[in-house]
Amino acid sequence: MKRERLVETFKTMVQIDSQSGEEGAMHEFLTDKFKQLGLTVKEDDSMLSTGLGANNLVATLAGTNTAKEPIFFSAHTDTVSPGNGIKVVERDGVLYSDGTTILGADDKAGIAIMLEAIETIIEEELPTGKVEFVLSPGEEIGLVGSSAMSMDLIESRVGYVLDNAGPVGSAIIASPTLYMYDVTITGKAAHAGLEPEKGVSAMAVLAQALPHIQTGRIDAETTANIGVISGGQATNVVMDEAVLKGEVRSISKDKADALIKEMTQAFETAAKDNGAEVAINVDLKATGYRMTDDLTVMKLFRRSVEALAIAPRTEVSGGGSDANVFNAKGKEVVNLSIGYEEIHTTSEYIPVSEMEKGVALVLRLIEHSPTKK
């Protein structure tokens, strides 16, 4: 492993603008880089269906040990805004932006870790089985790239997403099912002072439905929120339309489903009682997962972290990642911490020492991957 090369690779990549939907240049760079390192690269046609700036990529290191089970690592190539024109500042072994943009360690630190691990394997002639590196666009806007990917592109059954905050040595073992929904209530306008009885009030529907919808912290693994309510034309017009947007998250899909059913029934009943119409659109953004210690992905994680003299840590997350998609599609995957902090802000940073630990962990995971049965 070479610290200077790791840092330079990271700096090069974060200076390639790749906000969500604009990942094309980043994917061109990665395709060229993987091929220069001798990996084969497969690309799907997901851009056609998603409208994103690039397709999913899977780069494969063939390895020399055919007795090993294949393993994969995943990172996303898009960033949030402000993510254009990033300038990296290094202070006391920690990488920051200049304060006008994000840093982009989420998730280009994960990609830099992948590339340095590959360089190290090649230079030190380390024996490995087949290793696949999966790069997806559109993660920050709803796991769009990975959701559009066919799992036929990935041979490995077990994998690790390199995309969580905090010190290396932690894994997200549970992540929620996430539903986002919008509700459009259509009533009838009328003059509120002259003939309100001729109107059908969308506000009346809201007033009846909302007390029957749970929000906030429901229990230890479940939350719900209504974040947007808009509607109306003027104070003297009966509100003829209202739009509401909300979400439900739970580690238990059954609980999430129950809350969505509760919301739907509340609005349908209120609309009927008030003579209004209602259209409800529910979008499943991520399917939750929960890992147990007996699974290969967890046994391999614990063994590899302990080999670095780090105590393994586990987390339950309130957010989703590409790991949710991979698990829903039949893979066995957890999301690993890679050292970045304060993501999605202009104060984002990552210690170089954590990136180095990330490389070491990837190498141990490859080394300890199981033998084929």
Q: Is 367 a catalytic residue?
A: no
What's the rounded Cα separation, in Å, for the pair 73 and 366? Answer: 10
Cβ within 8 Å of residue 335, ≥6 positions away: 160, 161, 163, 164, 171, 172, 175, 317, 321, 322, 323
Given 22, 23, 116, 139, the catalytic residue: 139
Kindly state the helix (H) or strand (E) to which residue 361 belongs, with its residue range.
Answer: helix 352-368
Cα(269)–Cα(264) distance, integer angstroms? 9
Answer yes or no: is 140 a known binding residue. Answer: yes
DSSP of 128-182: ---EEEEEES-GGGTSHHHHH--GGG---SEEEEEEE-SSTTEEEEEE-EEEEEE
Task: Write down the residue that tokens 């969580």 correspond to.
Answer: 164
226 CB neighbour count, 10 Å cutoff? 15
State both tokens at 163.
């995309």
Residue 163 among known ligand-binding residues: yes
Residues marked as catalytic: 139
Annotated binding site for Zn(2+): 106, 140, 163
Annotated binding site: 106, 140, 163
